[in-house]
Amino acid sequence: MTATTRTGSARRRASAAASTLLVAAGSVLGLLTGCDGDDPLADASVDDPAATAPAAPAAPASRPRGDGPAPEDPAPREASLLFGGDLLWHDTVWLSAEADAAAAGASGLDLDPMFADLRGPVRAADLAVCHEEVPFAAPGAAYQSYPVFAAPPAIAGWLGDFGWDACVTTSNHSLDQGYDGLVRTADLLDAAGVRPVGTFRSAAERRRPVVLTTDDGVRVGLVAGTYGLNGFPLPEGREWSVSLWDAENLLAQARAARDAGADVVVVALHGGTEYDHLPNADQVALVDRLTRSPDVDLVVGEHAHVVQPVTKVNGTWVAYGMGNMVAQQEATRPATYQGIAVEFTFTERPGGGFAVSEAAYLPISWGHWPSAGPLRVRRVVAALERTPGDPGLLAARRDIAAAVHGLGRTPGLVER
């Protein structure tokens, strides 16, 4: 069984094939699908160089005098994890990217200018996870916008080039293009070196936890689930293809990731009441259940299209809703033109395990194309350093901060 290993924080992908480390967990994950068939990967051996490396010579019982000070204990390992909100590819988003490409004398899409302000934080993180909310169009097929999406396939390659390591792909739009679209989206992301999370191309893939390994050797398990599928039924005979957000399913996946060797397990939830800055009763109940489990270290959320609180529940950090990372919803809903990325640094504890040592949110905002010109997703704090006193940025910063702190319980949370 495999899990992608990230290479180099200067980033990264010399090829889409990454080194892997994972422990088989088929017996636990079989519970997730209800499948009792044999998994050809369940008994596969793990390619672990440590298992075949020669044993190190034993250390002497005592150090002779005069040999200098004893070596210091190694520094604790750390992992910075960055998560972003909904990438909701409305037609005006890709039209703005086409205009940027044309301005540079090229064809197709140029998304780099749109997201230039986020490149630094994404590439600096040890693990960067986006939310690809909608599927990609088939080759040669027309792109589609709201309400049934089919995004330009070139976006997948851009996600990998930009620096994202993984993307949550389970959402209410996962089956907008049917099972074939789900598979195509995962294939395109894989080809770009971006691990899909929460949708599955086979029952065997559903039984394998997603565990990504940072350069420092910290293993991060990623679990995701959506509240629903906009009325589309799960494909007959392939009910395993989309992870839903019932607690038993998510907790079983979290336990499987832990059993597979994950040091840190993150659950991504797609749900909530659209345009409401506070979590609804279903979110609150599910988060309460998840954060009581020792197998869940962090919960992040998407779908409401506006920022919801970042807080602690049962001692565990929760970002209920990160809003959009880009979208073009009604101009009369200015909060949908705002979002956050969240970054949590996990540090190894002396007694074992990992705990959050730093928690931060990055407010972002953008305008409406074409009335506001080319789309530019701006990091609000950084943009205010460039243009102090900008009234739009100041308002966005104020509104986002109010939403982030809407439930309190934010000790140590910083804005960046």
Is the sign of the CA dihedral 369, 375, 380, 381 positive or negative?
negative
> Which tokens hold the place of 398?
């104020």
Residue 40 belongs to some domain of the structure: no
User: How much is the average pLDDT of 127-136?
Assistant: 98
Q: In what order do the strands lie in the sheet with 298-302?
A: 210-213, 219-226, 264-270, 298-302, 316-319, 310-313
Inter-residue contact 164 to 157 (CB < 8 Å): no
Per-residue pLDDT at 133 = 98
Percent of the chain with pLDDT strictly greater than 70: 82
Whole-model pTM: value is 0.84
Residue 3 belongs to some domain of the structure: no
Q: Which residue has the higher pLDDT, 39 or 330?
A: 330
237: left (phi over 0), alpha (psi -120 to 50) or beta: left
User: How much is the average pLDDT of 114-120?
Assistant: 98
Please provide the size of the chain in residues: 416
Residue 227 belongs to some domain of the structure: yes
Inter-residue contact 291 to 299 (CB < 8 Å): yes
* 148 CB-side CA count, 13 A: 9
Q: Which residue has the higher pLDDT, 60 or 86?
A: 86
| Burial label, 301 (beta-carbon count in 10 A; 0-12, 13-18, 19+) | buried
CATH number at residue 304: 3.60.21.10
Per-residue pLDDT at 78 = 98
Residue 32: pLDDT band (50, 70, 90) is very low
Instruction: For residue 40, count other CB atoms closer than 10 A to its CB.
Output: 9
Give yes or no for residue 209 having a pLDDT over 70: yes
Residue 28 belongs to some domain of the structure: no
DSSP state of 273: -
Q: Which residues of 224-244 are buried (b: 16+ CB within 10 A; e: fewer)?
A: bbbbebeebeeeeebebbbbb
Say which amino acid occupies 206: R
Residue 21 belongs to some domain of the structure: no
Per-residue pLDDT at 410 = 95
Say which amino acid occupies 241: S
Residue 26 belongs to some domain of the structure: no
Which residue's structure tokens are 């998510």? 250
Give yes or no for residue 26 having a pLDDT over 60: no
What's the number of domains the chain is made of?
1
Q: Which residue has the higher pLDDT, 68 or 271?
A: 271
Give yes or no for residue 391 having a pLDDT over 70: yes
C-alpha 379/C-alpha 393 separation (Å) is: 9
User: How much is the average pLDDT of 294-305?
Assistant: 98
Per-residue pLDDT at 138 = 98
Give yes or no for residue 12 having a pLDDT over 80: no
Per-residue pLDDT at 70 = 58
Inter-residue contact 298 to 269 (CB < 8 Å): no
- Structural domain for 140, as ranges: 78-415
DSSP code string of 165-192 = -EEE--STTTTTTHHHHHHHHHHHHHHT
Residue 74: pLDDT band (50, 70, 90) is confident
DSSP state of 219: E
Residue 11 belongs to some domain of the structure: no
Residue 278 belongs to some domain of the structure: yes
Query: Which candidate, 181, 226, 229, 220, places its Cα nearest to that of 201?
Result: 181
